Structure 1
């Protein structure tokens, strides 16, 4: 199953040169793990709630590759270039299988909840 690295980067008043170096070098850290940008620098159209900042989504073939990339020496060398100048959150998340149906998940969760209530 595909996996994703998702970054919510908060606005920064000034983009320090280290941010540009980070951006220039990040792709070379993704390549060995099959990572590719799916969303980067795009406008975010907020429909519910608030979303200050930017959204970054990087796709990977699976969680092993996503973890491997994030934990790699090459990427860890870059992390301080970003974190010294830009606050935000980064998470790794597994995608759903092809043909995923949310109603099947709802049914399973409903049964589990009913069983827990009986116990």
Structure 2
């Protein structure tokens, strides 16, 4: 089942660091089977900072997205992004085709 990296960025300063990050990120994804699902294009902020953008990357599985994020290649370019925007980033696994919203309640109860 796929794994995802999801980022919410705002107040992005598009400068030489960000350009370098964008020029290098694709090569960090390839070894782990990662690809962009959402990146640029038409986005309308309906909650949160108006300068926000959403990014969604898909990987073959949860382990692959973790391995990508901790890879030396990605860690080398990550500071280029971090010092030029505010962000929240999450790594998540696919919830499954039969998932319904109340399934998360089972997880909360089982964690207690």
TM range (shorter): 0.7 to 0.9
Greater helix proportion:
1
Q: Distance in 2 between matches of 1:75 and 1:20?
A: 15
Q: Distance in 2 between matches of 1:56 and 1:95?
A: 16
Are 1:11 and 1:54, in contact at CA under 8 Å, matched by a contact in 2?
no
| Bigger CA radius of gyration | 1
Cα offset for 1:102? 1.0
User: Which residue of the partner structure matches residue 2 of structure 1?
Assistant: 2
Q: Within 5 Å, which residues of 2 pair with 1:33-72?
A: 33-47=32-46, 49-52=47-50, 53-72=52-71
Q: Distance in 2 between matches of 1:19 and 1:46?
A: 21
- Matched position secondary structure for 1:102: coil
User: Which residue of the partner structure matches residue 90 of structure 1?
Assistant: 89
Question: Number of residues paired by the alignment?
Answer: 108
What is the TM-score normalised by the length of structure 1? Answer: 0.79
